[in-house]
Amino acid sequence: MLALDGGVPRPISLEGVDPWRAALSRDGALVAAMDGASVMTLYPVDGSGSVRVPEAKPEEVPLGWTADGGLLVGARLGAPLEVHRIDVRAHRRALWRTIRPTTPANRIVFSAGQEVFAYSYLSWRTHLYVIEGLR
């Protein structure tokens, strides 16, 4: 972590956390991210001890946070994509919304009020050729 006014950066996690699969809580107190073993973990920004999120399934990644502090999670490359809300205080999980992108989403982000989302996707176009008569 690095303060906006400068200073020395300080880590809030061990090495190996995936920065591309992380979500900062709306109050700025927690970062949900995948640890080095690909387990969803909450990292307090103040540097206190991390906590695993046992309600998250192994194929899920953090997608964002709701205004009331719920953690939104979903599987990568899903279409349709079931987004679940995890109450990290009460340790409960429930289906929050099913999103139907036109192609499997690689990365999805929500607006502050979760009424709008954007996503990216991967697409490979390949061709296979047979060449005969090479010597």
Tell me: the pLDDT tens digits for 54-87? 999 998 999 999 988 999 998 876 678 889 999 9
The reply to whether omega before 80 is within 30° of 0 (cis) is yes
The parent domain of residue 48 ranges over 18-120
pLDDT in tens, 50-62: 999 999 999 899 9
Of 39, 30, 28, 89, the residue nearest 61 (C-alpha): 39
**Into how many domains does the chain fold?**
1
Q: Is residue 56 part of a domain?
A: yes
User: pTM of the full predicted structure?
Assistant: 0.79
Q: 22: left (phi > 0), else alpha (psi -120 to 50), else beta?
A: beta
What would the pLDDT profile of 113-123 be if each residue is shown by its tens digit? 777 888 777 77
Q: Decide: 65 and 25 in contact? Cβ < 8 Å.
A: yes
Contact between residue 70 and residue 62 where contact means Cβ atoms under 8 Å apart: no
Q: Is residue 51 part of a domain?
A: yes
